[in-house]
Amino acid sequence: MTDLTSLTLAEARKGLADKTFTSLELTDAHLSAIEAARVLNAFVMETPDQARAMAREADAKIAKGDAGPLAGIPLGIKDLFATKGVRTTACSKILGNFVPTYESTITSQLWRDGAVMLGKLNNDEFAMGSANETSCFGPVGNPWRREGSNTTLVPGGSSGGSASAVAALLCMGATATDTGGSIRQPAAFTATVGIKPTYGRCSRWGIVAFASSLDQAGPIARSVRDSAMLLRSMAGHDPKDTTSVDIAVPDYEAAIGKSVKGMKIGIPREYRLDGMPAEIEKLWSQGAEWLKAAGAELVEISLPHTKYALPAYYIVAPAEASSNLARYDGVRYGLREQGKNIIELYENTRAEGFGAEVRRRVMIGTYVLSAGYYDAYYLRAQKVRTLIKKDFEDCFARGVDAILTPATPSAAFGIGEKGGADPVEMYLNDIFTVTVNMAGLPGIAVPSGKDAQGLPLGLQLIGRPFEEETLFSLGEVIEQAAGRFTPARWW
């Protein structure tokens, strides 16, 4: 039955409806695959009993003919999503064995639609990172390796567990979150599809907060169609998140296969970086050619403030993080380190509970928000953010429907290879993705080719606010042209 794991979500949906197999069989096949892939460290918590119970329930509903759109589909959940009765840690020691008494809005919508939870997925601590190396549970392995090499590579981050598990066929799709690239960059590193929807499209309620004005959840899946199916269940207005927007959720799947003829695709001049690998450059031109062949029109555009996006992000995101993380004080949740008074208890708990990268962000954030530096850093970064957003608005006002860029400046790298001496080396991974969060726009990463060492590379499409459908239509054109990529199994 193990070949059940290689189906796409859309194929599995058909097999379940036709009664070719049951959800219990599909779920068991994935549970065995997870067991056999523990070396990847993609899951930080497996929930087989719950998975089987949910699968049985889905099977009963399918038999009765009252199945939801994701009935019986086994998924993995990033450990940033609160799951009722199931440990949720954001992969930080400071949350200890925190077991939420409530369910995040997104996961409750997935269960409402019949999906099955296989377990919780690894991620960078509080989603801070680009390689899944800051997790308190240790790094995640990318199922992809360089040709002829045994070196284990990172799957990207922060949603490294989600991307690795989907690519290694351990789950049919996964939830993920993206504050500066954490859905799209790991998707590009693992040949999976990842979409960060428009800010406000999905509820953030019950998701551990990193930088609230940038955080947005979305799916990682094996095909553009699968990601459209998942996003439909995840999206929607939620009165419990005042930043979620009350507009109807379209049937995203209907956008798949829709003609892209006449669409205007912007190619931003500023994304052509000095020293960018020739392979990435080539892939980008190839992607443009594919869209052109499908009838789209290509136009060169300018996003002049692009070069300020990363520095501004690394002020805004840590500022919000330092405020959000103030709640982890050793009193209310998880870890508590004693001290001779309450201040010492706070200090000891936070020093012991937060990892090095999180501590760095809290310190930067506190600094840029402090009296005397607020105007020079935080306020200035907010102004830059407005300019970045305006760059995009100007292009859209001139009739551009979507923007095509590389998803990442390189393919996956080895564990421990980057950022050791200089954290900025790691931050540069998000050079093409952070602008999209700063502007609140939707962006999708689609597998598009391989580098000379056989590693996957992805392209990114950026859309107008709430026009995720355009991204699905264009993304599918790229997917059809590029084909799908599966790693050779070594684990």
Tell me how far, at minimum, the Cβ of 163 lies from ligand GLN, in Å: 12
Indicate whether 419 belongs to the interface with ligand GLN (CB under 6 A): no
Give the orientation angle of helix 224-234 with respect to helix 468-482, to 10 degrees.
160
Indicate whether 194 belongs to the interface with ligand GLN (CB under 6 A): no
Indicate whether 54 belongs to the interface with ligand GLN (CB under 6 A): no
Indicate whether 180 belongs to the interface with ligand GLN (CB under 6 A): yes
Burial of 331 (0-12, 13-18, 19+ CB in 10 A): exposed
State the Cα–Cα distance between residues 161 and 138, nearest whole angstrom: 11
- Catalytic annotation, pick one of 182, 223, 244, 473: 182
State the Cα–Cα distance between residues 158 and 176, nearest whole angstrom: 9
**In the β-sheet with 216-221, what is the strand arrangement from edge to edge?**
43-46, 116-121, 74-78, 173-178, 216-221, 193-196, 443-450, 456-463, 402-406, 264-268, 297-301
Indicate whether 133 belongs to the interface with ligand GLN (CB under 6 A): no
- How many positions of this chain bind ligand GLN (CB under 6 A)? 13
Choices 5-13, 122-130, 345-353, 460-468 (CB under 6 A): range interacting with ligand GLN? 122-130
State the Cα–Cα distance between residues 25 and 20, nearest whole angstrom: 10
- Catalytic annotation, pick one of 104, 135, 158, 233: 158
Give the per-residue contact string, 421-450, with ligand GLN (x = CB under 6 A; - = no).
---------x--------------------
Whichever of 135 and 179 has its CB closer to ligand GLN, that residue is: 179
Indicate whether 127 belongs to the interface with ligand GLN (CB under 6 A): yes
Give the per-residue contact string, 195-234, with ligand GLN (x = CB under 6 A; - = no).
---------------x------------------------
Indicate whether 181 belongs to the interface with ligand GLN (CB under 6 A): yes
State the Cα–Cα distance between residues 330 and 342, nearest whole angstrom: 10
DSSP string, 391-421: HHHHHHHTT--EEEEES-SS---BTTSSSSS
**What type of residue is 448?**
S
Indicate whether 107 belongs to the interface with ligand GLN (CB under 6 A): no
212 is catalytic: no
Q: Which of 178, 238, 253, 476 binds ligand GLN (CB under 6 A)?
A: 178
State the Cα–Cα distance between residues 236 and 232, nearest whole angstrom: 8
Among 83, 104, 74, which residue's Cα sits nearest to residue 221?
A: 74
Q: Across 309-450, where does the E strand assignment appear?
A: 402-406, 443-450
Tell me how far, at minimum, the Cβ of 130 lies from ligand GLN, in Å: 4
Tell me how far, at minimum, the Cβ of 182 lies from ligand GLN, in Å: 3
Task: Count other C-beta atoms under 10 Å from residue 52's C-beta.
Answer: 16
Choices 128-136, 303-311, 338-346, 414-422 (CB under 6 A): range interacting with ligand GLN? 128-136
Indicate whether 125 belongs to the interface with ligand GLN (CB under 6 A): no
**What type of residue is 35?**
E
Whichever of 7 and 176 has its CB closer to ligand GLN, that residue is: 176
Choices 10-18, 45-53, 126-134, 394-402 (CB under 6 A): range interacting with ligand GLN? 126-134
Tell me how far, at minimum, the Cβ of 231 lies from ligand GLN, in Å: 17
Choices 21-29, 178-186, 223-231, 441-449 (CB under 6 A): range interacting with ligand GLN? 178-186
Q: Which of 129, 266, 365, 465 binds ligand GLN (CB under 6 A)?
A: 129
Q: What are phi and psi of 416, to 5 degrees?
A: 80, 0
Tokens of 16: 């379940």
Tell me how far, at minimum, the Cβ of 134 lies from ligand GLN, in Å: 8
Whichever of 182 and 223 has its CB closer to ligand GLN, that residue is: 182
Q: Indicate the Cα dihedral angle 58, 63, 66, 68, nearest 10°.
A: 30
Tokens of 174: 């996964």
Please answer whether residues 85 and 118 qualify as being in contact, where contact means their C-beta atoms are separated by less than 8 angstroms: no
Q: Which of 158, 306, 460, 470 binds ligand GLN (CB under 6 A)?
A: 158
Whichever of 130 and 324 has its CB closer to ligand GLN, that residue is: 130
Tokens of 307: 């070069």
Indicate whether 128 belongs to the interface with ligand GLN (CB under 6 A): yes
State the Cα–Cα distance between residues 443 and 136, nearest whole angstrom: 29
Indicate whether 193 belongs to the interface with ligand GLN (CB under 6 A): no
Q: Across 124-222, where does the E strand assignment appear?
A: 173-178, 193-196, 216-221
Q: Which of 22, 27, 122, 182 binds ligand GLN (CB under 6 A)?
A: 182
Indicate whether 162 belongs to the interface with ligand GLN (CB under 6 A): no
Mention every residue, 6+ apart, whose C-beta is less than 8 A from residue 397.
Answer: none
Do β-strands 297-301 and 264-268 pair in parallel, antiparallel, or remain unpaired? parallel
Choices 65-73, 174-182, 446-454, 480-488 (CB under 6 A): range interacting with ligand GLN? 174-182
Tell me how far, at minimum, the Cβ of 244 lies from ligand GLN, in Å: 19
Q: What part of residues 301-340 is at the interface with ligand GLN (CB under 6 A)? A: 317
410 is catalytic: no
**Binding stretches for ligand GLN (CB under 6 A):** 127-130, 158, 178-182, 210, 317, 430
Give the active site residues: 158, 182
